Amino acid sequence: MDIATTQKPEAAPETAREPAIEARGLVKRFDDTLAVDGVDIIVPRGSITGILGPNGAGKTTTLRMLLGIIDPDEGMRRVLGHENPRDVARLIGYLPEERGLYPSMKAVDAIAFMGALRGLSLPEGRKRGRELLEDYGLRHAADKQIRHLSKGMAQIVQLLGTLVHDPQLVILDEPFSGLDAINQGKLEVLIRSLADKGVTVIFSTHVIAHAERLCEGIAIIAGGKVPFAGRVDEARDRIPAQVRLETSANEGPWRAALPASARRSGKFWQFPLPESGIEPLLRALIDGNAGILSLSIERAGLHDAFVAIAGEAAAASLVATSTGEMAA
């Protein structure tokens, strides 16, 4: 159960992996409220997938339907090959957004208890719990009652209880919420280590940076719909890469090679990367004696991709959620 810093491995092609989760057309209503409206998502085995969206977008409802905690009104879901997720509950680790542990329990007993709910014996759960706490740098907290731990430490204990039975699929609902920067970094390392062992991880978040650093795939949820589900690089490619060019010459025949959309800001020209690529432009710049001082190609970030896919309003709500959490 060692937790080690590793680089995210090169992902296998999508077609080479069976899906750990497959959902089509999930719909859920609560009275007159349409919470989830036709969600489609496929999560390959062994991948890290982020469910990205602001609060109220439908992330938690979607995860609960995938877990079998609630049933969809319409649509199908298949988890680890089973249409009823409850049939494979012992193979799943789930960290809900609402945290909750018995205050009088010792940390190691809380972890063992959560393992017992998934079929692990209490002695084995305590043994593994101590190992996990030590790996996470919390050996000193093993025999402390939950009530005597900080909020962040108690949250880590519940996270470790989610993993103690060695699940094949781990579902985390806003796992970074409430953690300080150090523990957020440790959690990122832990998530990567799970994927390195072949565990499928899916987590919801409203913080784009976590998804951008960790995820192979994302599903963007806005207003109960999923306007995009796929690889992170495919989302970023929705926006053309931007060229940033600085030349020593201000005028010359090379100017005709710049796209009509090129705009000058100070010493730099900025424009989308032409569909023909950078090579024809480079030849024109060199032949036209532009005097290239610098040239860079900047790929769009996930935030820009989110804006392009989900819209300005959803992006503003995402930022407001993150800002409000940091202020709290």
- The number of CA neighbours under 13 Å toward the Cβ of 323 is 6
Q: Which of 166, 20, 39 is nearest to 81 (CA)?
A: 20
Per the domain annotation, does 292 fall within a domain?
yes
Distance between CA 236 and CA 244 in Å, rounded?
18
pLDDT digits (tens, 9 = 90+) for 232-266: 989 988 888 889 999 999 889 999 999 988 999 88
Taking the CB of residue 250, how many other CB atoms lie within 10 A of it? 10
> What integer pLDDT is reported at residue 2 of this predicted model?
35
Mean pLDDT, the chain, whole residue set: 88
> What integer pLDDT is reported at residue 228 of this predicted model?
92
pLDDT digits (tens, 9 = 90+) for 16-39: 578 999 999 999 999 989 999 999
227 and 167 assigned to the same domain: yes
Instruction: Of 15-19, 40-44, 54-58, 89-93, give the lowest mean pLDDT range.
Output: 15-19
Per the domain annotation, does 321 fall within a domain?
no
207 and 289 assigned to the same domain: no
> What integer pLDDT is reported at residue 321 of this predicted model?
61
Ordered strands of the 48-52 beta sheet: 92-95, 169-173, 200-205, 48-52, 217-222, 225-231
* Domain hosting residue 268, numbered range: 242-298
Distance between CA 58 and CA 115 in Å, rounded?
28
pLDDT digits (tens, 9 = 90+) for 184-211: 888 999 999 999 999 999 999 988 889 9
- Mean pLDDT confidence for 68-94: 95
CATH of the domain at 71: 3.40.50.300
The sign of the CA dihedral 140, 145, 146, 149 is: negative
219 and 285 assigned to the same domain: no
- Mean pLDDT confidence for 215-221: 93
> What integer pLDDT is reported at residue 179 of this predicted model?
86
Distance between CA 328 and CA 324 in Å, rounded?
6
Percentage, residues of the chain above pLDDT 70: 92
Taking the CB of residue 61, how many other CB atoms lie within 10 A of it? 21
Distance between CA 12 and CA 29 in Å, rounded?
36
User: How many residues does this entry show for the chain?
Assistant: 328
137 and 285 assigned to the same domain: no
> What integer pLDDT is reported at residue 11 of this predicted model?
47
Strands 74-79 and 92-95 come out as unpaired
294 and 156 assigned to the same domain: no
pLDDT digits (tens, 9 = 90+) for 270-298: 998 888 889 999 999 999 999 999 999 98
> What integer pLDDT is reported at residue 7 of this predicted model?
41
